[in-house]
Amino acid sequence: MKEKMKYKRILLKLSGESLMGSLGHGIDPNVLIFFAQEVKKVQNLGVQVGIVIGGGNIYRGLNAGQQGIDRVTGDQMGMLATVINALALQNAFETNGMYTRLMTSIRMDEMAEPYIRRRAIRHLEKGRVVIFGAGTGHPYFSTDTAASLRAIEIEADVIMKGTRVDGVYDSDPEKNPKASMFKEISYLDVMKKNLRVMDLTAISLCQENELPIVVFNMNKKDNLLKIVQGKNLGTQVNGKN
């Protein structure tokens, strides 16, 4: 009999930069293998997993203006970068014995299913990892916002934002060794303090729909597993003051 998990359905948000690993660019195959192994541990316990991946390791639309590319075109290039990362994740997961579906907000039928909410939920119910690519399909919206939107649509219990630090801090812990980590913080305080957990649109969506966020270090073995089992790791972002 499977043990009772704190969360039955999660939306895992990963940055594109997280796939670079020690390479400093592109996609590190060792990171793909590690992420696949970590996700498989929770899926084996019956947790339904959706994933939104960014594209910053390949292209950031926000940098488009500096390169003489207009914002809309830059954001569209960024959306395609997320699909490249999603395909890499899908391959790693399936190599590790998981069933997956890649769904995109922009139609590309030869390599992915178009995003349809009811179909995505059905895939999750059947035990498939659903990877959501191409952001929201619209410029000016980040993959953080895409993660919040998809999590709400698929009725996830939580957004789990995997980062390379242990949680949300009052300043950048990679620059300030005295930075203090919050164990719990409200959506409102995240916005007031401009903590950049996720962008304001994403945080507002979570607040409106009372969707909790857990920010944690995805690079530490078993962290994802421990959190779905109910361990108090990372930072909880919710409506509590």
Helical ranges in the chain per DSSP H: 29-43, 71-95, 117-125, 143-153, 187-192, 200-208, 223-228
Q: Is 86 left (phi over 0), alpha (psi -120 to 50) or beta?
A: alpha
Q: Would you state the pLDDT for residue 101?
A: 98
Least Cα distance to 214 among 164, 136, 158 occurs for 158
Q: How far apart are CA 241 and CA 225, in angstroms?
A: 27
Query: In the beta sheet, which residues pair with residue 235?
Result: 215
pLDDT digits (tens, 9 = 90+) for 32-76: 999 999 999 999 999 999 999 999 999 876 666 677 889 899 999
Q: How far apart are CA 120 and CA 102, in angstroms?
A: 9
pTM of the model: 0.93
Q: Is 227 helix (H, G, I), strand (E, B) or coil?
A: helix
CATH architecture assignment, domain 9-238? 3-Layer(aba) Sandwich (3.40)
Q: Would you state the pLDDT for residue 61?
A: 61
Rounded alpha-carbon distances, angstroms, from residue 20 to 24, 30, 31, 57 = 5, 9, 8, 6
Q: How far apart are CA 32 and CA 95, in angstroms?
A: 10
Rounded alpha-carbon distances, angstroms, from residue 108 to 53, 87, 133 = 17, 12, 11
Question: Residue 182: pLDDT above 50?
Answer: yes
Q: Would you state the pLDDT for residue 1?
A: 45
Question: Residue 2: pLDDT above 70?
Answer: no
- Domain boundaries in the chain? 9-238
pLDDT digits (tens, 9 = 90+) for 130-174: 999 999 999 999 999 999 999 999 999 999 999 989 999 988 888
Q: How far apart are CA 75 and CA 119, in angstroms?
A: 26
Burial class (CB in 10 A: 0-12, 13-18, 19+), 97: exposed
What b-and-e string marks burial along 108-140, b requiring 16 or more CB atoms within 10 Å of the CB?
eeeebbebeeeebbebbeeebbbbbbbbbbebe
Locate 82 and state its tokens: 């997320």
